[in-house]
Amino acid sequence: MSIDLSKMPKLGFGLMRLPETNGSIDIEHVCKMVDAYMNAGMNYFDTAYVYHGGKSEVAAREALVKRYPRDSFMLATKLPAWEIRKESDIDRIFNEQLERAGVDYFDLYLLHSIEDGNNYEVYEKYDCFSWGMKMKEEGKIKHLGFSYHGSPELLTQVLDKHPETEFVQIQLNYLDRSNPVVRSQKLYDILAERNIPIIVMEPVRGGMLADLGAEINGKFKAKRADKSVASWALRFVGTLPGVMTILSGMSNEEQMADNISTFTDFEPLDDSEMQLIDEITADILKVPQIGCTACKYCTPGCPMKISIPDVFRTVNTLRRYPDDWRAKNFYNGVASRGGRAGDCIGCGQCEGVCPQHLPIIELLKEASGILD
Ligand code: SF4
Ligand code: SF4
């Protein structure tokens, strides 16, 4: 049975950037966000085995599963290729996910981060699509799909080989349309042409498109004083045909309230607004930015405890505003809690897991030159 698109809310709650207190997920705070989201009539939650070091699925149990009837929400999670060493690991991980989340089925289940090379090879080696179909037959998964970070060529190949794919999750936002690594537009075109429902991740590019500096923010505000800067990024993807649901990794109630307001009586972008997005994209691209989405896949395994996305955030700010003392203070705070950019020993762990394929070691050398 294919996904009933009428039941999918346009805004999905991504559980990868939940609020934390003293290094642990703040469940009380998450409960308030879940309540606000559910009260707005929306009910799609996206977690993964690896989010928050394995604690995001548990947070879903505490803040959602224990507090709402099972048929009132949809919960999605993902199988991590990089944790699979042998066939039996797949069932072990899946059973652990059911237990962590406190459910006996997942509404949507994804093979996490298919990309050229390692991950896709693992999913094929262990025949994970057939395994997913078996879980569907057993009622433990309602719908099977994958999240995708690879090339357009591989996407076509995977879809040809696996017509059982019911949906695909891709990174899509107005800035990455022309990004030569992400190639969002091409990925979108392939899926739209095949009528495969699209779930969008990183619509605000890890928060970057929520605050673009006074000048660009001002252009958005001059056009629509009533709309937040982040809302433009969400409205852009929400306007595209074929987009089923847009995930936002919300971290506080303010973001939640702003996003709910964007998707309540949703207003697609009109032609003049789309033109403004094109102009602003060109403005942003004048200053090259490190394409880090702050997904934090790279940080748990860093032996030097470098907060890589925070370092890149600082560099991006300084590339645009070289004298910004607040950015330097921010970096010094981050570095005092972990490693400095210059502490990198070049082990390559981070580059192996970065879905944006960033040359992290080289970028940290640049960062160290500016910051250390
Ligand atoms: S290459 Fe550097 S930043 Fe990356 S994991 Fe190793 S030490 Fe950490
Ligand atoms: S460097 Fe890559 S893996 Fe690390 S947070 Fe940024 S995008 Fe994610």
Ligand nearest to the CA of 176: 2
Nearest CA to ligand 2 atom 6: 292
Q: For each successive 10 residues of the chain (372 residues), what is the average pLDDT?
A: 86 96 94 98 97 96 98 98 96 98 98 88 97 98 95 96 97 84 89 97 89 92 95 97 96 95 95 96 88 91 95 87 75 89 96 94 95 90
Ligand 2 centroid to Cα of residue 350, in Å, is: 8
Average pLDDT, the chain: 94
Ligand nearest to the CA of 207: 2
Domain ranges of the chain: 5-285, 308-371
Q: What sign has the CA pseudo-torsion 87, 88, 89, 91? A: positive
Q: What is the dihedral of CA 197, 113, 185, 164, to 10 degrees?
A: -30
What's the pLDDT score for residue 208?
Answer: 82
Please choose from 343, 357, 361 the residue to mutate so as to test ligand 1's pocket, defined by most ligand atoms within 8 A of CB.
361
What's the pLDDT score for residue 35?
Answer: 98
DSSP letter at 167 equals E
What's the pLDDT score for residue 299?
Answer: 93
Both tokens of residue 230?
A: 């982040």
Q: What is the secondary structure of 87-149 as a DSSP string?
A: THHHHHHHHHHHHHHT-S-EEEEEEEEE-TTHHHHHHHHTTHHHHHHHHHHTTSEEEEEEEE-
Ligand 2 centroid to Cα of residue 299, in Å, is: 8
Q: Which fold has domain 5-285?
A: TIM Barrel (3.20.20)
Nearest CA to ligand 1 atom 4: 350
Ligand 1 centroid to Cα of residue 343, in Å, is: 8
Please choose from 290, 305, 306, 371 the residue to mutate so as to test ligand 1's pocket, defined by most ligand atoms within 8 A of CB.
306
DSSP letter at 344 equals -
Q: How many CB atoms lie within 10 A of CB 151?
A: 15
Contacts of 347 (CB under 8 A, 6+ apart): 303
179/291 Cα distance (integer angstroms)? 9
Ligand 1 binding site (Cβ under 6 Å of any ligand atom):
302-304, 306, 308, 344-350, 360-361, 364
What's the pLDDT score for residue 250?
Answer: 93
